[in-house]
Chain A
Amino acid sequence: MPLHAAHDARSIHLRALRAAAAVALGAACSSTAGQNVVAVANDTGQSDSTLTAHDAAAGADTAGAPDSSPADSPVADSSAADTAASPDVAAQDGASGDAQTGETMGGKPDCKALGLDMGACCTALTTWCEAAFANDQEARNTCIFGPNYDSSTGCTPWGPPAPPAMAVA
């Protein structure tokens, strides 16, 4: 059975919701909204690192496909961004973070630490990622928001048919 077939319905629902939150709420990583969405995900008993590990594995399913270049798959195939900057891996694991400063050994802010000013940390993370991936938007998104916009970095991306024809009075 493929790995992703093992997800339960609640887990699928929450991951999908986080993807939408990542897109819609994007830049506002200090938003309480994002934190709630992440909190709900954590309520399932899965840690962020578990989610990241899973999504990385799921991404690997398609990593070798001819059309899975980062440019084509910014959301689903973000593993390239993880490997592009090796310090990120440690940062996303949370293994080397400094809870006081939120900064990892490699200099990348770790916004998962408790007690941080999330807004300031996510702003710093955004700055760091923009410098690290200046020319690769997909990698930058993964760096800021995590693979598949799963918020595993601690930052929910800022907070984000034919339209109806009826006129507004």
Chain B
Amino acid sequence: MTALVLDLQSAARPFLSELGELPSLADPTAAQRTWRARMVNEHVSARVFGALLGQAMAAGLSAQRQTQLADFACEELRHARQCAAVVQALGGAAVAELPNLPAVPQHAEVDPLQALLRNIVSVCCLSETVAVALIRAETLQIGPPGLRSLLDQILADEVGHAQFGWSLLRELAPLPAALEQGLTSYAKVAMDHVIEHELAHLPDHRGFGPAAAQVGVCSGRAARALLADTLATVVAPGLLSLGIDARTPRLSQLCEEFAVPAGVCVIHTAKASDLQWAKLA
């Protein structure tokens, strides 16, 4: 089968002028590759929100929430064009082969609400919450104002995507015991999935120096540590406070690797009222 090609050369142009000139790097290859990969990832993630929209309709979510999901899909497509503009500003071509696209699971074996919430936990509470932390870290290192502005827009959208999931779960809380159990089983699968996905996209290097960091090529090692900390000290406890236990041996292993204090990963209580947080210091 012929690979599909994503060509955003023309679509990126309107964002190029807003971006302004970027500093020239001795070797822009890593930066071009980084932003091209983001272009692809953002583009294909639009289909995830598209799928969530269908599930939200089936589950009877409000029209406002359905509209938000449709907006999120459009935002991901815009992010792709914005990332494409950065590729071009760095002297590269905003063209890439699309990877194989796994279908977004419909979870037909459970009722429509649980099916939706499974994907919400994975997408909003895990992936997008991690994205908020990673992008926020990056914005603090970005140099050129135009690039900072672009990344700020993307961060703002990612915040909205993550908030969607957390606020929906809070609206529905307390969840019926059966739903809590079902989501706990799934959240463990989703936790391990996001860990493997992120580690695969965060190369274990210490960056390519300050010049590269100012155009968005940060230390992958630092990003991995932030991933571990976010999952262990924000996501897992946040879900636990809603009755969803997403902790797994893989998360503990990640904590160990990045020296997140063990207590954080071993929370024995399950309710917000008596949730114990280990000190991070």
Contact = CB atoms under 8 A, between A and B. Distances in A.
A101 interface: no
B129 A160 contact: yes
A145 to B, nearest CB: 11
Among A23, A40, A43, A76, find the residue whose CB has the most chain B CB atoms closer than 10 A.
A23
Contacts of B41: 161
A168 B185 contact: yes
Interface in B89-134: 101-105, 107, 109, 118-119, 121-123, 125, 127, 129-130, 132-134
Interface residues of A, number: 55
Interface string A140-169: 000000001100000000111111111111
Interface in A1-55: 2, 4-5, 7, 9, 11-13, 15-17, 19-21, 23-28, 31-33, 36-37, 39-40, 43
A119 B276 CA distance: 16
B141 A19 contact: no
Judged by DSSP, the binding face of B is helix
Interface string B141-169: 11101101101110110011011001100
B149 A67 contact: yes
Q: Which of B153, B160, B170 has the most CB of A within 10 A?
A: B153
Contacts of A32: 275-277
27 contacts: A12-B222, A13-B229, A16-B230, A17-B226, A19-B136, A20-B129, A23-B159, A23-B166, A24-B125, A26-B167, A33-B233, A37-B280, A39-B280, A58-B139, A62-B148, A66-B18, A73-B149, A74-B159, A76-B153, A160-B162, A162-B47, A162-B102, A163-B123, A164-B122, A164-B189, A164-B190, A168-B189
